[in-house]
Structure formats: structure tokens, C-alpha cells
Amino acid sequence: MKKTFLFLLSILALATGCSDDDDSGPATRQLTLNISGLTDLGSTAQYEGWIIVNGAAITTGTFKVDGNGQLSTTSFDVAAADLDNAANFVLTIEPIPDPDAGPSAVHILGGDFSANSANLTISHATALGTGFTGAGGGYILATPTTTDDTDELSGVWFLDNSSGSPVAGFTNLPDLTSLTGWTYEGWAVIDGTPVSTGTFNTAAGMDDNATTSSFKGTDGDGPGYPGEDFINNAPAGLTFPTNLQGAAIVVSIEPVPDNDPSPFLLKPLSGDVPANAAAMTFYQLNNIAASTYPSGTATR
């Protein structure tokens, strides 16, 4: 009788233990991403998701994106307790190989969880913090780094001279000086080839090409605004000086560091140079911000 009683007690304890395990719920649960508009980062970078739990970033996993914008992985196993307590989701761009276990400074999308879903945008405070939809700007064609009056259509400068005195060519362009991980870059797309005019963080002031560019002429650094003269050392397939009539002028937002010689997918401003464009005349760019940004959801 005693042995039978002890045996029944052991069975009861085992059953009770199994019941507790069942009530505790799964240790992991899936986080699902539905994001469109991302670009292939090549072999040296990848995307990584993060949930923010009590102020700490916890990785949800990495993925790549192909040339059609398709994610290599859309569902990730994450600790259920962490998902339950997550306040935000953040998507970053990370180097390959990645020497740092934490998130990089290049935050491209972010969103707050509401119930079980977070809407992801670049304008979220954990990403770029703005949508750039209010930005405007324009440029003139000129070659201030040469004394040759015949090559004026071979340079582009983001300044406005319509009042008679040059001022910054951009309006309401957010200052990126304090936004680690991102910078602006100007481009002239010449015969289908994008050529950088340099990177910059503010509407006024020279860009990083001002004193280092190999394209400009030899007669000074140009005005104190972003821009470039395409006079020397043309890339393969192009000839400098050139004629920018009919070219495309683009302002992009680039990740830092950036090893891609073409504009990144974030392009707030763009426009075609008129076929009959004149030198020293201000031309407006179009704001195309809303049509070039990735967005999506994270569901837990």
C-alpha cells in the first residue's frame, strides 16, 4: 500500500509539472517583416532587424534583398518574452563582416509597436527622423573653377543666384550634421552614368569635394556651396568637359560608410536639366521623396 501511494504521488507531480510547462507558453515566437522598397546592398552589407526592449536593442536577425526588392527571409524566431515587451522595431544596415554585436548608426526604418504590429517608416524617431517631403532646391550650370567661358554648361552648383547674389540652393533641407550614419550626396547623371558632385550635411557651405575633387578645374575651389565642375579626369565612357543639358540632377541621402558608386534609394530631390538650359540660370528640382522611400510593417 505504501509503495502504491508513493507511486501515485510521483505520477501526480509529473502531471503537475507538465501542466506548468504547457501554461508557460512558447519560448520563441515569430516576428514577420513585410517591407517594400529596399535595395540590394551587394556583398559587403546586409540588413538587420532590432527590437527595443527597456531601452536595449535585441537583434531579430539579418537578411539580404535581391534585385527585385525581395527579402531573403521574412520570418524570424525571437524570444517570446522579448517580443511581448518590445516598444519599437528598428531596421539597420550592417557591414559584412560585422565586428560589432550592436546596431550600426545607419538606421533606415523604425516604428512603434501598437498591439502586435509596427508601421515602419524612415521618418520615425529611431530612423532618420524626417520624411524630407518639405525640402526644395535647385541649381545653376556654371564652371567657377575655370576661366574658360566656353565650358559653363559642364558644371552644376546647388546655389540660387536669381536675386543677384548667391544664396543656398536648398530650402527646408534638414541639417544632417547631428544625424550619425547619413549624409547628402549630389549627382549628375551624364549619358546614364551617375557622377558624384560630393557629399554634404547642410544646404550652405562647401561639400567634401571642394578641395579634393579630381574633376574640377585649376582656378580655385568654387563658391561656398555644394557642387562640381566636370572638367578633368572623366570616368570611363565619359568625356570632360561635357554638356549637362538633358542630364539628370539628383540629391540622395547616403549611408555612412558607403561603397556604392551610384545614388542610394533615398532620393528626396531630382530633375532633368532642360535641353535648352542656359548657364548661370537657376533651375528648380522636384521633390520625389514620397515615391522613393521603403516602408512596411513588423508583426509579432
Instruction: Residue count of the chain, please give it.
Output: 300
CA-based nearest residue to 216, from 200, 201, 196: 196
The pLDDT of residue 52 is above 90: yes
Dist CA 235 CA 251 (whole Å): 20
The pLDDT of residue 19 is above 50: no
**Is 176 within 8 Å of 183 (Cβ atoms)?**
yes
The pLDDT of residue 18 is above 70: no
The pLDDT of residue 20 is above 90: no
**pTM score, two decimals?**
0.89
Q: Which three cell numbers stand for residue 219?
A: 582656378
Residue type, 141: L
Task: Give 142's pLDDT tier (boundaries 50, 70, 90).
Answer: very high
Residue type, 207: D
Task: Give 209's pLDDT tier (boundaries 50, 70, 90).
Answer: confident
3-state class (DSSP) for residue 152: helix
Give how far the C-alpha of residue 65 lies from the chain's centroid of Cα atoms, to the nearest Å: 14
CATH code of the domain occupying 26-129: 2.60.40
Structure confidence by residue, pLDDT tens digits, 83-93? 999 999 999 99
Q: Which three cell numbers stand for residue 191?
A: 549619358
In the chain, CATH 2.60.40 sits at: 26-129
The pLDDT of residue 8 is above 50: no
